[in-house]
Structure 1
Amino acid sequence: MDKGSSNYQDRFIRKALSVYDAEQVIIEQVKRESIELVTIEHAYMRRSAQTITASAPVPHFRRSVMDGYAVRAQDTINASVEHPVKLRIIAVVDCGAAWSGQLQEGEAVRIMTGAMVPSGADAVVKLEQTSDMEQGAHGLDDEVSVKEEAQVGDFIHDEGIEIKQGTMLIDKGDVIEAGNMALLAMFGHSYINVYSAPKVAVIPTGHELLSVEAQLEPGKIRNSNSYLLSGLIRDAGGEPHLLPALPDDVDALASRIEDAMQEYDAVITIGGVSVGDRDVLYAYTQQWKGKLLFNKVKMRPGGPTTAGVYHDKLLFALSGNPSSCFVGFEMFVRPALLQMQGVKTPDRVRLRAKLASDYLVKDTVVRLVRGILYADERGGLMVREAGLDSSNATITIRDANALIVIPPSEQDWAAGTVVDVIPVGRHSIKNR
């Protein structure tokens, strides 16, 4: 393209959106919602496509929480070690069994932890507070000595104390983790509807890219960004499809993108989004049949991040610099993939934390700095830079568990200043 032409010059005067506006524009474009039925053992880490409520209370019967004796509390009044109360044993109830009788005055039922408390009983006396501790187990019609006065409700879990009937167990869009799987089984759900994993094509571009197996050459680098995105896509619930790298050629790129749009739910390209002669994404989006949403965002790194829609399929063009690629994914691609899986509020959660050290970089746009979020000795949230604050740094992606949001400013940010932080990845808050 002629560098003196108006079309060439346009790449330098792009309209930039704020980070929030760019995120909302993408979320509004998500149309896909595919659902499939899976068994609960295959539901782990999928997102539920249905809301499930408790069909019964838990427990659904009064349950003993101790080994001991089910009694009527009034029969144990004034019982003590010195003056035990003797009760006649009329039944034994094991866990998983039920006794259909009615407890009467002066009677007791031997009961195990988790067993159903018989009708007429309103308390359980622990085994340790009976003569069983010295004499061993009794038979029916034997007596047991109770050495402690019982109060109504002692060591009994009432019906529904854990879960009331109708309680929401899993909401639409929730990730199904181990605890959710236990609840599904508890309430008899052997199958559940889940959102299908969005299929995402990843297309790296650039003459400089080598395969992972290749020997390094002068001026060239191995294609690491595809594998970065593969992990991030899986973490967001998607299914990555890594396509071969392309040279910086508009026609080859157009053909690959348009083929991928027929097969996948979204396409991510890597590289070629800036203003250089080899940055072909700008040229492609000026001639394609899709709708350009934005090609510049008021943030650093990742300012040239581009997004568009092609036949209801999303195209994300991310920077080839690793940290820019990472930030672009976290701020724009992840919310879109979550929206495809029924998440009601897919935009990024923000916390507040204090800067652990001065931040001395001034900028006219928001800076999203890879950071390490941790708790201080008092439990307050602190955040520090993960390392080199450069868009081509990769190791900080490994270490970061948050993005530090540094607003535009002409002044430095002093240690102790409270800033927004966006948790990223699966890293938990660290100790230091």
Structure 2
Amino acid sequence: MEEKITYARAKEILQNQKISPKGLERVFLYESLGRVLAKDIFASEDMPEVALSNMDGYALSSTMIGESKGVFKIFSENPAGNQESIELPLTKPYAIKTLTGAAMPKGADILVPFENTNINGEYLEVNEFPKIGEFIRKVGDNYKKGEKLLSQGTKLNAIHIGLLASLNQVFVEVFEKPKVGILVSGNEILEIGESKSNPNTLYNANGHLLYAKIKENGGNPKLYPILKDEKSSIQDCLKEALEECDLVVSTGGASVGDYDFIQAISKQWSDEVVFKGVRIKPGQHIIYAHFHQKQFFGLPGFPNSTLVTFELFVKEILGKLCGVLCRENILEVTLKEDVQKGDERLEFRVCNIRNEGGQFFIDFEGKKSFQSAILNNFCPLDDARMGLAVLEGNRLKGDRIPVIVLG
């Protein structure tokens, strides 16, 4: 077990974990939205299979331009979806009216858009000739047979669904969602919907925050009943969750107080703890373990600490279980104000990210303080994006600093 390690060392440990994703399942195309692709997708044929008109126009042969003196006889019409194989005669200057999406007639290599022509009875007068192949989609322009189109580990979005539909992919193989157990402990915690009779109680924000974050990141969350500060009941529930789930995340009880039983259980099962304590603010009391060959995180109980440590650490392991690589979105952004720090720990401070005239800046407007209990700091009242400013020391207005983009 490693204790009180640096953030860089904690990330290195998590990134080096050899964790296989869950098994595969085959789902209908629509049901694959938001799921993680389990196999590479390759094109089974060229797209398009034949050259297509990209505009409404007239198809003609470049070999007839000199002879035509800009005048072509309209030979026939070629609509999109035409079942007939159309061929352009090359005996004299002919043109075939060819609409958007129609296959280019055999022998034609130029498409003249409608707006570049005049019609005089059955004759076409061309005002301006385009280049050969212009306004024409060539065979395989979209993709060629055997071309890799999507990679295993891709989290599928609406655009991917459209691409898969173009490949006639009715069913899609995706990774199963890992089951993630959520344990919340504390005598002061009430479940939402309960009546508060004591002002010294709090509603279960952490449990439902984690439920949503796990679902948002591809897991299948299970929120267990709130646990009171009693070691044996917490241990029993932890064992049950480890049997039922692939990953267990607890919140609360990871500090060093008299009632921090996750810390006590970690000491009892110390051989299975990978690291305990990371020199960061907030969230220094985080625990990562392989309890009973299952993945486990003990997160601090303050809401800010819970959210930050989930973003920095839990997402890394959850991503591996889902089969997707976890890539932090980090920007170098300009500070709009001076920043003072209270201690030497690496700090992840919630901030506003604003785009001003194409340049990104960060500020701390509306942040009531940076205490670990103030979750509403992450809920802006304007259109700012949220981020975590990475602070190694005091910084000055105008400095460029790294920021982890949230959401």
TM-score normalised per structure 1: 0.86
Aligned position for 2:210:
229
Residues 385-404 of structure 1, C-alpha deviations (whole Å, 9 max, x = no match) = 26121111110122362111
Residues 180-202 of structure 1, C-alpha deviations (whole Å, 9 max, x = no match) = 11111111221111111111111
The one-letter amino acid of 1:212's match is: I
Residues 76 and 146 in structure 1, CA contact (< 8 A), matched pair in contact too: no
Aligned position for 1:139:
none
Aligned position for 2:263:
282
Residues 216-238 of structure 1, C-alpha deviations (whole Å, 9 max, x = no match) = 32211111111111111111111
- Alpha-carbon separation, structure 1, partners of 2:377 and 2:65: 67
Pair 1:101–1:348, CA change in 2 (3 A):
closer
Deviates more, 1:309-318 or 1:145-154: 145-154
- The Cα shift of 1:84 comes to 4.8
Query: Is 1:85 the equivalent of 2:71?
Result: yes
- Alpha-carbon separation, structure 1, partners of 2:386 and 2:81: 46
- Taking the TM superposition and a 5 Å limit, the aligned residue runs for 1:334-373 are 334-344=315-325, 346-373=326-353
SS at match of 2:277: coil
- Alpha-carbon separation, structure 2, partners of 1:24 and 1:312: 20
Query: Is 1:37 the equivalent of 2:19?
Result: no
Pair 1:289–1:418, CA change in 2 (3 A):
closer
- Alpha-carbon separation, structure 1, partners of 2:266 and 2:204: 24
- The Cα shift of 1:241 comes to 0.8
Deviates more, 1:183-192 or 1:315-324: 183-192
- Alpha-carbon separation, structure 1, partners of 2:237 and 2:168: 46
- The Cα shift of 1:275 comes to 1.1
Query: Is 1:62 the equivalent of 2:42?
Result: no
- Taking the TM superposition and a 5 Å limit, the aligned residue runs for 1:279-358 are 279-288=260-269, 291-344=272-325, 346-358=326-338
Unpaired runs of 5+ residues, structure 2, are none
Aligned position for 1:385:
364
- Alpha-carbon separation, structure 1, partners of 2:66 and 2:403: 59
Aligned position for 2:102:
115
Pair 1:157–1:120, CA change in 2 (3 A):
same
Residues 61 and 158 in structure 1, CA contact (< 8 A), matched pair in contact too: yes
Residues 371-429 of structure 1, C-alpha deviations (whole Å, 9 max, x = no match) = 1222222x22212226121111110122362111001x3xx31111111111111xxxx
Q: Given the alignment, which residue of 151, 166, 170 partners 1:186?
A: 166
Deviates more, 1:121-130 or 1:205-214: 121-130
- Taking the TM superposition and a 5 Å limit, the aligned residue runs for 1:21-32 are 21-29=9-17, 31-32=19-20
- Alpha-carbon separation, structure 1, partners of 2:251 and 2:56: 63
Over aligned residue pairs, what C-alpha RMSD do you find? 2.0
- The Cα shift of 1:333 comes to 0.7
Q: Given the alignment, which residue of 401, 419, 422 partners 2:401?
A: 419
Aligned position for 2:87:
102
TM-score normalised per structure 2: 0.91
Percent identity between matched residues is 28
- Alpha-carbon separation, structure 2, partners of 1:207 and 1:88: 86
Query: Is 1:161 the equivalent of 2:160?
Result: no
Residues 326 and 397 in structure 1, CA contact (< 8 A), matched pair in contact too: no
Residues 31 and 312 in structure 1, CA contact (< 8 A), matched pair in contact too: no
- Alpha-carbon separation, structure 1, partners of 2:348 and 2:25: 37
Pair 1:22–1:150, CA change in 2 (3 A):
closer
Q: Given the alignment, which residue of 233, 240, 247 partners 1:259?
A: 240
Pair 1:165–1:384, CA change in 2 (3 A):
farther
- Alpha-carbon separation, structure 2, partners of 1:88 and 1:229: 67
Residues 51-100 of structure 1, C-alpha deviations (whole Å, 9 max, x = no match) = 11222232221111111211012423497xxx7513241x3211112542
- Alpha-carbon separation, structure 2, partners of 1:164 and 1:156: 16
SS at match of 2:81: coil
- The Cα shift of 1:302 comes to 0.5
Q: Given the alignment, which residue of 381, 386, 398 partners 1:401?
A: 386
Aligned position for 1:138:
none
- Alpha-carbon separation, structure 2, partners of 1:143 and 1:215: 84
The one-letter amino acid of 1:45's match is: G
- Alpha-carbon separation, structure 2, partners of 1:367 and 1:88: 73
The one-letter amino acid of 1:277's match is: D
- Alpha-carbon separation, structure 2, partners of 1:290 and 1:56: 54
SS at match of 1:396: helix
- The Cα shift of 1:101 comes to 4.3
Residues 74 and 97 in structure 2, CA contact (< 8 A), matched pair in contact too: no
- The Cα shift of 1:126 comes to 1.6
Aligned position for 1:176:
156
- Alpha-carbon separation, structure 1, partners of 2:19 and 2:133: 54
Q: Given the alignment, which residue of 173, 177, 185 partners 1:205?
A: 185
